[in-house]
Amino acid sequence: RERIGKLEWLIPEVDEMLGGGVETQSITEVYGEFGAGKSQITHQLSVNVQLPPEQGGLGGSVIFIDSEDTFRPERIEEMLFGLEDDVLQAAMDQREIEGSIDDEEARDELLQSFLDKIHVAKAFNSNHQILLAEKAQEIASEYEDSEFPVRLLCVDSLTAHFRAEYVGRGELANRQQKLNKHLHDLDRVGNLYNAAVVVTNQVQSNPDAFFGDPTKPIGGNILGHKSTFRMYLRKSKGNKRIVKLVDAPNLPDGEAVMRVTGEGLKP
């Protein structure tokens, strides 16, 4: 069993709260209401994970299961070039890209290299999503001995298809069973290939519709057993967001503040 890796958000307050960053061999559930910025986190981590360990990354590639058509390459570009110059330079050196970070050709090459390492798969429905998680294991295996082994598996959103397809009380048990199987598959990729698994989950916008607590993720405690780290994301003033760590093993609960900017997530 490989040593657990820590993937940094590159936001000191958040990383400190997480004990160094998002852990590999674990599932991290990010939940929050519509527009809170859950997809901003999956995009930022898809950039950060590729950085060398000295820069907070894991020198790895990404499998991105996209169920809501949220993946945006332009956002990856903005976040990549929103990194500090020395971090960009380190990323260029790591990839043996010649030239300076001010050089347009070198920047294009760097961006292409980052995009190439994000394996995006769109999930059209919940069964397809389950299939893609099984497929993720094959992709992780394929890249295991490569220069950039898979170190991050994102599912954005984990629950949207399940919620849309399994409607009503009578379907709850069925939905839970399917989700559990799916999470088990995701967990296995994380464990076998030393990857961080990050899933997003939208909270109920109508607090009375489910269990009555707006801070409870959809599906109640469906993810309760599986997601080792649970993070609640909440809008604050302007571009500020509150990131709350809830029920993490061996870590105290806590809160941190970050901003969603044009250049990505910032302190």
Minimum separation from the CB atom of position 35 to ligand GTP (A): 4
State how far the alpha carbon of 110 is from the alpha carbons of 80, 176, 196, in Å: 9, 42, 23
Q: Give yes or no for a contact between 156 and 68, defined as CB atoms under 8 angstroms apart.
A: yes
Minimum separation from the CB atom of position 43 to ligand GTP (A): 8
Residue-level length of the chain: 267
Shorter beta-carbon distance to ligand GTP: residue 35 or 99: 35
Phi (first) and psi of residue 166, to 5 degrees: -105, 90
238-267 residues near ligand GTP, rule: CB under 6 A:
260-262
Query: Which residue of this chain has its Cβ atom nearest to ligand GTP in the complex?
Result: 39
Minimum separation from the CB atom of position 59 to ligand GTP (A): 25
What is the C-alpha to C-alpha distance for residues 2 and 179, in angstroms, rounded to an integer? 27
Minimum separation from the CB atom of position 241 to ligand GTP (A): 8
For the four alpha carbons of 216, 198, 125 and 183, in that order, the dihedral sign comes to negative
Rule CB under 6 A: is residue 37 a binding residue for ligand GTP? yes
Structure tokens at 154: 């994102």
Q: Given candidates 5, 7, 38, 92, which one binds ligand GTP under the rule CB under 6 A?
A: 38
What is the C-alpha to C-alpha distance for residues 165 and 195, in angstroms, rounded to an integer? 29
Interacting stretch for ligand GTP, rule CB under 6 A, among 38-46, 117-125, 185-193, 215-223?
38-46
Q: Which residues bind ligand GTP (CB under 6 A)?
A: 32, 34-40, 68, 70, 75, 202, 260-262
